[in-house]
């Protein structure tokens, strides 16, 4: 998959059906990891990306708000568990730099994406212990993003962060990673939890029977 094909994969992602249900399934598979890590960096979704935010207790407009329990999804985390987590989101600060800041003061930033206000509003940088990473496509633990390299540079600089990519099954592709691409530790889809122990083989926890039964 070369750079020119990214638009096709983004369009393919936008057209995936039953996203509400698929997002919820991915959120359920993220839950055990969220309960283990006190500091979580999570992206604010665009262009049909996996969206698990509402399922963990909040929704976003231009400010963080408590999610009303319309579907019961916010019960994935209790109020106590939700408040115990240090939530943060990425902010692009230059052509090569991205940092994470608390998810409490937001604005439209680089590329028209909602992001924290950062240092100018007095926020202190956060280095999350777990980072949820968006992607356009994935293959064997590697990801294709939007081509700017922000996450690859950040992950290379912070190797101790647990890096979890989230995607829909239909985003699995076949490509050769670039030398600078950073392999993820885990990729979670609506049917699978794929582990990529560093310098080891893939471990695949799959729900094939459930997938066939549910038609997902």
Tell me how far the alpha carbon of residue 94 is from its chain's centroid. Answer: 21
Q: Is the pLDDT of residue 210 over 70?
A: no
- Number of alpha carbons in the 13 Å side-chain half-sphere of residue 72: 1
Q: Which two tokens stand for residue 143?
A: 């990801």
- The per-residue pLDDT for 200 is 56
For 30, the 3-state DSSP assignment is: helix
Instruction: Measure the CA–CA gap between 37 and 150, rounded to whole angstroms.
Output: 23
Q: What percent of the chain is predicted at pLDDT more than 70? A: 82
Q: Is the pLDDT of residue 152 over 60?
A: yes
Instruction: Measure the CA–CA gap between 4 and 9, rounded to whole angstroms.
Output: 10
For 137, the 3-state DSSP assignment is: strand
- The per-residue pLDDT for 76 is 84
> What average pLDDT does this structure show over 120-142?
96
Express each pLDDT in 61-94 by its tens digit: 544 444 333 333 456 888 788 888 999 999 999 9
- The per-residue pLDDT for 105 is 85
Q: Give the mean pLDDT of the chain.
A: 85
Contact 111, 91 (CB under 8 A): no
Instruction: Measure the CA–CA gap between 36 and 126, rounded to whole angstroms.
Output: 18
> What average pLDDT does this structure show over 138-149?
93
> What average pLDDT does this structure show over 162-166?
98
Report pTM. Answer: 0.86
**DSSP class of 18:** -
H/E element, 8: helix 6-14
Of 210 and 123, the structure prediction assigns the larger pLDDT to: 123
Catalytic residue set: 143, 152, 181
């Amino acid at each position: 998959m070369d750079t020119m094909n990214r638009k096709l994969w983004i369009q393919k992602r936008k057209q995936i059906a039953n996203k509400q249900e698929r997002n919820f399934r991915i959120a359920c598979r993220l839950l055990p990891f969220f309960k283990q890590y006190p500091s979580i960096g999570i992206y604010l979704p665009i262009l049909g990306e996996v969206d698990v935010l509402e399922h963990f207790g909040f929704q976003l407009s231009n400010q963080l708000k408590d999610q009303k329990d319309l579907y019961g999804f916010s019960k994935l985390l209790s109020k106590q568990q939700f408040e115990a987590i240090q939530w943060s989101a990425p902010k692009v600060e230059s052509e090569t730099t991205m940092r994470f800041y608390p998810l409490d003061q937001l604005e439209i930033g680089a590329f028209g994406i909602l992001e924290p206000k950062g240092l100018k509003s007095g926020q202190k940088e956060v280095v999350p212990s777990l980072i949820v990473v968006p992607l356009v496509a994935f293959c064997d633990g590697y990801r294709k993003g939007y081509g700017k390299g922000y996450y690859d540079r950040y992950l290379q600089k912070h190797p101790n962060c647990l890096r979890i990519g989230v995607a829909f099954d239909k985003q699995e592709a076949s490509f050769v990673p670039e030398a600078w691409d950073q392999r993820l530790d885990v990729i979670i889809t609506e049917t699978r939890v794929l582990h990529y122990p560093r310098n080891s083989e893939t471990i695949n926890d799959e729900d094939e029977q459930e997938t066939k039964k549910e038609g997902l």
